[in-house]
Chains A and B, each alone.
Chain A
Amino acid sequence: MKHLLLILCAAFYPLTIHADALQFTAPLTVTTATKDVFIHLDSSGRRSLAVSDEVVAVIWEDNRNGKPGIYIAYHLPGKKTFTGLDEISQPSPAYEPVIAPLAGQRFLVAWEAEDQVWLRVVSPSKKGETVAIGRTPAKQITVATAKGGLAGAAWSQGQQRDAHVYYADITIDDYAIEVAPPQLVDNSKDKDVQQYPALALTRPGKVIAWEDRRQGATRIFSAFSPNGKAFQDYRLLNEFAPSPNPELGKGSGAMRPVLAGDGRQTVAAAWMDKRNWRSGYDVFAAVSVNGGKKFGANEQAQDMFGENVPQWHASITQSPNADVAVVAWDDTRNENPDVFYSLRVDGEWSEDYELPGASGPGRQSHPSIIYDEQGVLHAVWLDNIEGQTRLQYACSVHSVQ
């Protein structure tokens, strides 16, 4: 029974690395909502689930207690259902939670409340103290962890055009959190609005990608910090379609970057990109093989059948050995929103596949995906049928190593 989840999710033999559709378990319901309760899976970096020592944790925001609050539910080894939910935020309205795994079935979680961003270590059996990070006003926090006890957080801090991305190293001792002095990620003088950071920790350092408005259109920038050193100059991540008439706007926009690292040298980035603006946002991606110092050329992640409709809510993850990157999103090519994903194997993106259980009647949207250390792909998404929303989960039945 101890390994029932693994038996359900992965058949103990590695999947041959190719770009065929993955097989998934039947969906499990994480939580349901009743009338006037609105579940949200939104966060900077789209990190809504994590896996630690066979425990799957899903985090979200909803208003079931009369105001937006942060909730978590766990899937424990050997159990057929998720645990009941646990509210982990303070009594004030809270938004946009994120989660990253720690050792020993613990998780680092973060969210936004009271114009501040907050951290906490939680597990199915215990919750640590809630710790504020940075200064007010702050928003859109994201967190990342890596082997060896590494942890970090990035967020947007400041008012309007003075909102800039900050980073802090985090030290965790059991359930206690110590936050190092925050660093301004971009020290250049021409800063404008910076928001929605994504973060990955790698062997050579850490990399942050964010939305940046300094060039007159929203673009995606990235910056790399070698171990023990400050962040270096930013780089442009999204290639850009300039306006045909520079007097009339600056050009194509991009938004909501997400990052996935393997903890070593490979980092995969994705974002929504409007360079093909007639059909709205597409999902574009880029891969770094030097720990995030520099990314390769932009790649369109979705296939031609998705080009006629906009893509939304892109999430990205990498297999433990970085052989496979997966991007998931939702779009309306089948009329109602469904969740699709594409796999990057040997530098090529596959055709788009519907995520089983996250397509068909109703509106399935807002996916968040993560590979665990065993190479099992886990996914959560929103499923809205006739106005009632539930939070669904599934995982791949094979693993990649």
Chain B
Amino acid sequence: MDLSTKYLGLKLRTPLVISASPLSEDVDNLKRMEDAGASAIVLYSLFEEQLRQDRLELNKNLQQGTDSFAEALTYFPEPDEFRLGPEEYLKHIAAAKKATRIPIIASLNGSSAGGWTEYAKKIQEAGADALELNIYYIPTDMNLSGAAVEDTYINILKAVKSQVTIPVSVKLSPFFSSFANMAKRLDQAGANGLVLFNRFYQPDIELETLEVKPNILLSTPMAMRLPLRWIALLHGRVNASLAATSGIHRASDALKMLMAGADVTMLCSTIIRHGIPQIAMIERDLVDWMEEHEYESVSQLKGSLSQKNCAEPAAFERAQYMKALTGYSLAQA
């Protein structure tokens, strides 16, 4: 069975790629993922905001209370050097490359114009095969227009592309007024891949303590419906590779995404929940299904049910509330 696919110009053995998660902080995990059959790994994100926060926090804690008592002018020793830049992340890229033979895709979340380009260059120098821009922020400013938000994305992409030669993908949220137009603009600005979609950690309210708490939930297969639709709509209409992420837990989920038009399917929650061997299980089930249904290769089925190729293109556009809802009847108490 030929499971090979191409993503960001990289030839991959299978479409099963591991998306950014804390699991990739450990080089041993990366090796285990490769052994289990991962065809590429996106490393956890380098957050510029976090680096800045660490610097501020450290400075604050080194200074805290030092003006209070003459007897103690400091409360901590000051080592010669604190490594508060991206050094650890860059070292990790190098270690990941050394430990594995599969492509390693770095992930970057900048928070300043200079940060995006400076870190992107360093990431390339550290040996990453590609770079995923994780443009992750919630535009809460009421004076910021949608057009300005979109321009920010395009400007970041262009700035990074001008500094690096490795392929660059953009991981996006679905929250744009006209997502199709946004995808087209990113494609034209030189994105080598679009990763659909980023899952934002949504805050929750704790009723007993009356506090707002970030509630980190693993995805469920239901989460794949949104990227499935947009991948099906974009397949064949943009040059950029398409990566499906969110809610891919089983081989059947991966198959659906591939048929919609994804070049790769990214796994995360299912591995956190079931462990790294789950990658091999999904690959085995994928092959079994394809053999049973007499497919020869991933490229054969890729996009076969995209909007362009499916029998009912309107199905991806219509909301179809009435039809969907009339299928239900009132539950009996």
Are A and B subunits of one complex? no
